[in-house]
Structure 1
Amino acid sequence: MWKYKYIICLFALWLWCIRGYANAQDTTQVYAFPIESVTLKESWIQYREALNIDYLQSLDADRLLHNFRINAGLPSSASPLEGWEAPSIGLRGHFVGHYLSACSFVVKKYHDGILGKRLEYMVDELSKCQMALGKGYLSAFPEREFDILETKAEGVWAPYYTYHKIMQGLLDVYINTGNVKAYDVLLNMADYVRLRMEKLSAQSISKMLYTTQANPANEPGGMNDVLYKLYRISKDEKHLKLAQIFDRKWFLMPLANNVDILSGLHSNTHIVLVNGFSECYEITKNPIYYNAVTHFWDMLAYKHAYVNGSSSGPRPNVTTPTSLTSEHWGRPGQLSNTLTGEIAETCVSHNTQRLTSKLFEWTCKPRYADWYMNAFYNSIMALQNAKTGEYVYHLPLGSPRRKKFLNSYSDFRCCNGSSIEAFSLLNKNIYFHDDKNVWVNLYIPTVLDWKERHIKISQEGDFIRDQKAELTVASDSAQFLSLNLFIPSWGKGAKVYVNNHLQGVAAENSFFNLNREWRNCDCIRVQFDFKFRVESMPDDKNTVAIFYGPLLLSFQSAEEISLYGEKDDILSNLEVSDRESLLFVLNNGGKKYYLKPLLSIEDEPYSVYVRINKLYDAE
């Protein structure tokens, strides 16, 4: 009997694999244009990028290198950094990895001489530190941190997390600037990890990489992600095998089988592993990884995310002070009671955008473009203070709340690091392509230079104020091109014009296709009609947020907001008071409320999610 059961199990497994393989092959591969092909034109978004570049240029390389030199026994006269880069902090060195990545993106795009020379200097000095330490090791903390991790799986603060940041920074420097020394240092770092892993038993590795607890001190970062990316370049099987060590089956397999195990997990620990899974799928085409990635995104988007695409908050089983308020995923679909002042960690939002763009490249599905646009305006752009360039660790969405901006020169937390990368990549994922077609997913003033096709596409205007997108095609000769214009889920009734001739009315959450022979200076206009709408919490229809077109609005008040009436009544009493300044007014329950986009909030108190009470007693 057991033989028949065994055969049945094998047959079921075969069917599951075939179904997974079929799903994995049901894709339309497109690619985001490289960052050097897309230039931001003058706009409020380009201004936000400039704030970030100014900050990158302002930092002192020797202060960034200080802990590395001290750890390697080399002299340093620089003052150590503070916050999470202080000499006593376990994560010291992590921000340097983010900094290398962010600077390399700016150098790739703009050939920035200041940052280009700084990268050369820092890589040279990091190489000296690696040689002084020996064995390929490079970090700002001593090797004994790994010894403790391997024996106890606790008692240290995430050494692999920090190690990954440095490796990723060096990889980005090599890819974006061609610095061969950065690649050599990276190879040595990978060999160091490989030699450590070869000495460990499978049981020891499993214990070391089991991260189900609150705020796991053994958080490995994106080690699988960076090693898969390294393998793409090196083609060395040892890097592929090393990356797969960090793909833990306890996390991978439930996701592949569409089992939501996110409740209680530390958000950024695990979303970066899923980014690594996506890299593995692209290399191996293993359907298990495809299914894990796509199922994870669905779980996150529809069961664990807030209205602006961000996620993370209090943990259902509170065991640490942090897990009481932040950084974890809760129970599926239960978000209304999680609105603490420390939800929506910036690192998680950034990594969600990375994953979402990857899924769009695999499928061209509008829902991923829709999600990306929403999070771009209402999560990513809302992280930065438009006056100071400072960033938040968390993005509170309750009533009332305040943004707590990190000090750029004394905090150096993980979200400082993720933010400088995100704002170095504001021109990424606007345009996608295959061999013959272009997809326009965001309406941002830019110039796309598709050199291989000798075509340029230029965008003008202010989408969020003018409610339209204007594009111009430039080409030396007439060319056939299929241009796909994204119409978001709120964009019903958008009208598309070519050279002022109406081409059609677009359906929401779709791509409007213009397949024609384009001539130089052909002009396209997509005219939107921004409307107000109310979005509810999945578990409480009376806890709501208000949108205007693509923009998530926030109430400007230090008081808790409680509205009265039905949703339609609320919407009928909303109006635009100043289109240029994006200010709005709501009359409700005998009060006048003032609103503006969440991305415009700086130091003032605000509310995003508010309560609706059905009845109002005028007396």
Structure 2
Amino acid sequence: MSDEVQFNRRQLLQASALTAAAAGGAAVGSAAGAGPVAASPAAVAVPNISDISDIGPGATAPVRPFPLTDVRLGNGLFQEKRDRMKAFLRQYDERRFLVMFNNQAGRPNPAGVAVPGGWEDGGLLSGHWTGHYLSALAQAYADQGEAAYKTKLDWMVNELAACQAAITARMSSGPGGGDDEPEPEIGRVAGKSGNALRLNGGSKAQYVTLPQETINQLTDFTMATWINLGSAQSWSRLFDFGQNTTVNMFLTPRAGVTGNTPRFAITTGGSGREQQINGNAALPVGQWVHLAVTLAGAVGTLYVNGEVAGTNTAMTLNPSNLGNPGNRWLGRSQYGDAFLDATLDEFHIFDRALSAAEIVALSSGTGSGTIAAYKFDEEGGTTLEDSSPNGRDAGVVAATSSGAATWVPVYPGYLGALPEDTVLRLGPPRFAVYGGNLDTNTWAPWYTQHKIMRGLLDAYYHTGNTQARDVVVKMADWAYLALTVGDPRAGAPLTRDNLNYMWDLYIGGEFGGANEVFPEIYALTGDAKHLSTAKAFDNRESLFGASVDNRDILVVTPQNRPGRRRPERLHANTHVPQFIGYMRVFEHTGDASYFAAAKNFFGMVVPHRMFAHGGTGGNYPGSNNNTELFQNRDNIANAIAQGGAETCTTYNLIKLARNLFLHEHDPAYMDYYERGLVNMITGSRADTTSVNDPQVTYFQPLTPGANRSYGNTGTCCGGTGMENHTKYQETIYFKSADGSALWVNLFLPSTLTWAGKGFTITQETSFPRSDSTKLTVGGDGPLDIKLRVPGWVRRGYQVSINGVPQNIAATPGSYVTLSRTWTSGDTIDIRMPFSIRIERAIDRPDTQSIFWGPVLLQILGNPGSGSYRSLSLYRFLKRDGDYSAAAITPGSPNAAGDPFFTTGGFTLRPYYISDTQATSSYFRRVEPTVVFGSVDSGVPNRKRNDGLPNYDVPVNGIVSPGTDGPTFLDLLWDQAPFATHEAFVAAVRQTAAPLYTDTERDTIVAAANQARSELDPPHTFAVEVSARAQCIAANAYVSVTARNADGVPLTIELITPYGSRTVTGVAPGKSAYQSFNSRRAAIPAGTATVKVTGTVNGVTTTAQFEAPFDASTC
């Protein structure tokens, strides 16, 4: 971009200085917690707050979203998740976010206020969580207008404005961008082998910080090092990885207990719930000792000098349970323990447990860590080189005296929790790389800038805070200079080639969706330079052009890497948000190449890299050890061997799907949005009332028997998690740009106020706990209402207006349009009966997942050793192919109304239930022979392997195309339902032809005919069911009636979220009735379930009916 922009460097710098001089008189302000501080206003023309719908996503699209303030969320699952997050936002001390900003601005902080922690702790990503919190506060306020959230937000914006003014004011003290600060003198000492690192005890080296990938991918592991203690300290840490004192994993050389033995411990519940491995003797001081700890499944072992010093055979926790630990330290404790006084040498991390013999060999210098290996053989400096092939350099943190920042900014308008140089050093001449060294490395500095700017824009959009708008416009002015003029040390402006080189840097070049905010700021100001800034983020060297051309290069071989710094596997959450930004550039420039890039990129991920819950990423043996990376195209089953998916990536993927839909209206985008929202997003928030941290996931593992962990203060997923649960209403309704149509995309309880058209729409539903919804129209006049027909619909889609069924052609994966002149009080009832359906992995169809409508069902329990549950289901099917009739049967819902199912002795429940139980999202289908009912043909259920994908990049140890293709029974039952037995037999004969000999085919056909009576669908009972909510005294009741309109006696079970009742021997023409007391003054809309069991012609059959009821407030 910038090599095409004509400007004079001297003129820009002069303009920068003039701006700084103008801002120099702005009040610097007082300590955080003091009264409001005036910030100088930005001299820009901005629209009124009422015009914001013309600025955000979809602003120029034919279909557009409503502002969050126009939609209120009703009671139900989504409201429950939202309220838990709002409780955290309300209690969190917002002053903690300003500590590091004040440090950079030279402003004092109130005593006793700690930084948030995690990645928001002074490390190289500090500041990003502040932006997430601003967005979450703004969204929380927009939903219900509660002043507490706006009060917090307004205070934060005011303080950030004062920090920005104070930093810019320092420009008057002299030119910025002088020589680098001298790197602390951190030397090396003689080690066990070569050099070593001395921590404390006279050394300026205080502790070491490791990159996140050294720990967040591990399950089984080995960590080993040589250590020479300088003193007999208790509880100081050799290593400590975690989020805080509640969630951590550490090894202390001397536990402060009797014997002072070394101790390894891991916990997700504080010190009282530690799982420990204790040594058998105290370590000597002043001698080299080799320490190692290994974990293999449930067995943890502590080694001292190659000998077993302690074991624990009942370990249930491993590093994956720590979430994504923001603190990854050698020599520092999560508690207030003393820094380690010791010398370290040869610190290795492996992604498996070494044997005792391998530990001995490692101590003698044989072997090197597969995750990271630090030999400390540098001559000096704060960078610790990783000698493994992974390049995960660590950084030494020097002991310093704290004080006000004195650095001088290069350009006016900078705002951050770190010095401006941490951003500028990413570009020329230094091209800083990712790592843990605060003085020389970088870690996604433009990602942090994006999050702060996004938070400020959201504050303006959702709460009308104009000061937030002024601050973000100044930040955008600074960004333009930073990405055009650049670092003065370079002596020349940034070129397109420089920018390409920057953005290809793994993690360090990650910029989030920074390119999404600048088009919006262009729309706010009319200043075209902000569009130039947005285009500066184009990833032109290695991805943009390929995406425009629809060439999938998300994973490449070493020989085919398209960029100089381009990794072979792209980091998923680094790149998804870039395409959100490209959509924003398209919307404000009309350049169709940006739309093409975004559309094609999305198609490379969904469905080709999508797991059942909507996430992407994963891991597999022998290929990589980072679950945050994209996998080979169509690699699904083989990518879940060790990992899962990063929640952040789904946060961004559904944003991209939403924005694409606004322009192209493809219902498949909404099907994906719903999948991600109903499963992975709702499933990311723990069902607890804890407010100690956000209680959200980082990874959502898919390994059989895995469990989710929650927390994530200060991490990226902790930040997007705060946002996820405060904006559930943003996509429920859209409007056509000309106001002629309303799009109903999602079935969430809510109320839309469309003031411009004089309409309100109230939606009452307990979806996804039930399969119906009711829309009530407020207002009069003509309007097209477009109702989404989800792609997962299998049993029809019924629509009634004012109780009258409508004759509509509802195709799954489409929208139906109701065109009429509406009258206030009109109602639209929609029923889309859920059904059990099976989804197969693209690359290995025997690896399958179970859905109930849109809801992924997980199998409870841990099968052990990473093995899959095995299920055989076809023998239960009737000609209708309905799994829920016998193969996977409904059980009783829990108190909240969540459905449960059973199959093969296992219990299944919705993915969105969020606790720490072991669950499996996938199972292995085992159908060895062709079986119909109880008739086993004895013929093998042969596989058809043609059509399986051939991985674009080979996977070590995996044959591609594979040999686990769809079986004969898969292909046969895919054609269900069958209207008659003759139609079924014809399908059997035709499907068998290419797979079997004539003799085998005839045997299979004979078995199908023999099983005729077993294959006939069950008798359909005639039962009339109804349910209604009513008030009796101060409580809401749900009354359920079921009338037996059949000719045989029935056992009828009435089931509601508030209780159940079974009535036996209900004669034809008679009814079962019960009124259930909710013991609440208000209940949401919901669904009652009626199960009926009867015997016809000697066959006992159970059928299920559902009856919706409205919300009620007494």
Please give the TM-score of this superposition, normalised by the length of structure 1.
0.89
Q: Equivalent residue for 1:582?
A: 898
Q: Which residue number corresponds to residue 789 of structure 2?
A: 487
Higher helix share: 1
Deviation, 1:168, is 1.3
Counterpart for residue 4 of structure 1: none
8 Å CA contact 1:346–1:393 kept in 2: the answer is yes
1:86 counterpart = 2:391: no
- What are the equivalent positions in structure 2 for 1:142-541 lying under 5 Å apart? 142-150=419-427, 151-154=430-433, 155-199=441-485, 200-202=493-495, 203-211=497-505, 213=506, 216-250=507-541, 251-263=543-555, 264-314=569-619, 324-340=625-641, 342-388=643-689, 390-407=695-712, 411-434=713-736, 435-475=739-779, 477=780, 479-492=781-794, 493-504=796-807, 506-541=810-845
Contact between 1:313 and 1:328, CA under 8 Å: does it hold in 2?
Answer: yes
- Tell me what 1:74 maps to: 107
Secondary structure at the counterpart of residue 490 of structure 1: coil
8 Å CA contact 2:621, 2:642 repeated in 1: no
Q: 1:393-429 CA distances to partner (integer Å, 9 max, x unpaired)?
A: 011123111101125xxx3100011011111111110
Deviations 1:79-99 (A, max 9, x none): 222111112x21111100011
Q: CA separation in 1, counterparts of 2:87 and 2:625?
A: 36
Note if contact 1:153-1:207 (Cα within 8 Å) is conserved in structure 2: no
The one-letter code of the counterpart of 2:513 is G
Answer whether contact 2:799 2:805 (CA < 8 A) is retained: yes
Residue 134 of structure 2 corresponds to residue 100 of structure 1: yes
Question: Structure 1: how far apart are the matches of 2:523 and 2:586?
Answer: 12
Aligned-pair distance for 1:538? 0.5
Kept in 2, the 8 Å contact 1:315–1:329? The answer is no
Aligned residue among 162, 167, 175 for 1:133: 167
What corresponds to 2:953 in structure 1? Answer: none
Q: CA deviation at 1:566?
A: 5.2
Q: Which residue of 2 aligns with 1:14?
A: none
2:890–2:902 Cα contact (<8 Å) kept: no
Give the C-alpha shift of residue 466 in structure 1: 3.1
Q: CA deviation at 1:334?
A: 0.9
Would the aligned equivalents of 2:628 and 2:645 in 1 still touch at CA under 8 Å? yes
Contact 1:393 1:415 in 2 (8 A): yes
Question: Deviation per CA, 1:491-545, whole angstroms, max 9, x where unpaired?
Answer: 1311111111110352211112211121121111111221101101110000000
The corresponding residue for 2:82 is 49
User: Structure 2 CA distance, aligned partners of 1:600 and 1:586?
Assistant: 16
Report what 2:916 is aligned to.
603
CA contact (8 A) 1:483 1:515 kept: yes
Deviations 1:47-93 (A, max 9, x none): 21111111111111211111111122211132222111112x21111
Q: CA RMSD in A?
A: 2.1
Give the Å deviation of 1:238: 1.0
1-structure distance, mates of 2:655, 2:622:
29
CA contact (8 A) 2:644 2:699 kept: yes
Whole-angstrom distance in 1 between the partners of 2:756 and 2:745: 21
Quote the residue 2:293 is aligned against. none
Deviates further, 556-565 or 300-309: 556-565
SS in 1 for 2:637: coil
CA distance in 2, matches of 1:587, 1:305: 26
* CA–CA distance in structure 1, aligned partners of residues 606 and 456 of structure 2: 32
Q: Contact (CA 8 Å) 1:61, 1:118: kept in 2 or not?
A: yes
Query: Residues of 2 paired with 1:587 and 1:97: CA distance?
Result: 45
Match of 1:84, SS state, is coil
CA 1:164/1:316 → structure 2, altered by over 3 Å: closer, same or farther? farther
In 2, distance between residues paired with 1:92 and 1:143?
Answer: 12
Provide the rounded CA distance (Å) in 1 between the counterparts of 2:875 and 2:792.
16
Q: Secondary structure at the match of 2:785?
A: strand
Query: Structure 1: which amino acid aligns with 2:728?
Result: L
**Shift in alpha-carbon separation, 1:61–1:420, aligned structure 2, 3 A:** same
Identity fraction in percent: 30
Q: 1:536-555 alignment to 2 at 5 Å?
A: 536-555=840-859
Deviation of 1:298 (Å)? 1.1
> How far off is 1:340 after superposition?
4.8
Which residue is equivalent to 1:23?
none
What is the Cα deviation at residue 104 of structure 1?
1.3
* Change in CA separation of 1:467 and 1:483 when aligned onto 2, cut-off 3 Å: same
- Tell me how far apart the structure 2 counterparts of residues 145 and 574 of structure 1 sit (CA, whole Å): 56
Taking structure 1 as reference, are residues 515 and 247 closer, same or farther at Cα in structure 2, changes over 3 Å only?
Answer: same
Distance in structure 2 (CA, Å) of the matches to 1:488 and 1:90 = 43
Q: Give the CA deviation at 1:43.
A: 1.8
Question: Pick from 606, 614, 619: which aligns with 2:927?
Answer: 614
Contact 1:256 1:295 in 2 (8 A): yes
Displacement of 1:317 in angstroms is 9.2
The Cα of 1:583 is off from its aligned counterpart by 4.0
Where in structure 2 are there 5+ consecutive unaligned residues? 1-59, 169-411, 434-440, 486-492, 556-568, 878-882, 937-1114
Change (3 A) 1:174 1:461: closer
Q: Deviations over 1:541-566 (max 9, x none)?
A: 00000001111000011214422435
Paired AA for residue 419 in structure 2 = P
Aligned partners of 2:86 and 2:726 also within 8 Å = yes
Separation in 2, partners of 1:272, 1:359: 13
Counterpart contact for 1:406–1:416, Cα < 8 Å: yes
- Classify 1:474/1:228 alpha carbon distance in 2 versus 1 (closer, same or farther; 3 Å): same
SS of corresponding position for 1:463: coil
In the alignment, what sits opposite 1:7?
none
Question: Aligned residue for 2:367?
Answer: none
Distance 1:257 1:540, change over 3 A: same
AA matched with 1:480: P
Q: Distance in 2 between matches of 1:201 and 1:45?
A: 46
Distance 1:266 1:567, change over 3 A: farther
Matched with 2:150 is: 116
Give the partner amino acid of 1:65: L
CA deviation digits over 1:219-266, x for unaligned, max 9?
122221111221121110111111111112232111010011222111
CA distance in 1, matches of 2:622, 2:514: 27
Q: Quote the offset at 1:585 in angstroms.
A: 3.5
Bigger fraction of residues in strand: 2
Determine which of 872, 895, 899 is the counterpart of 1:565: 872
1:511 corresponds to which letter in structure 2?
Answer: Y
Could you tell me whether the CA contact under 8 Å between 2:648 and 2:717 is conserved in 1?
yes
Distance 1:239 1:92, change over 3 A: same
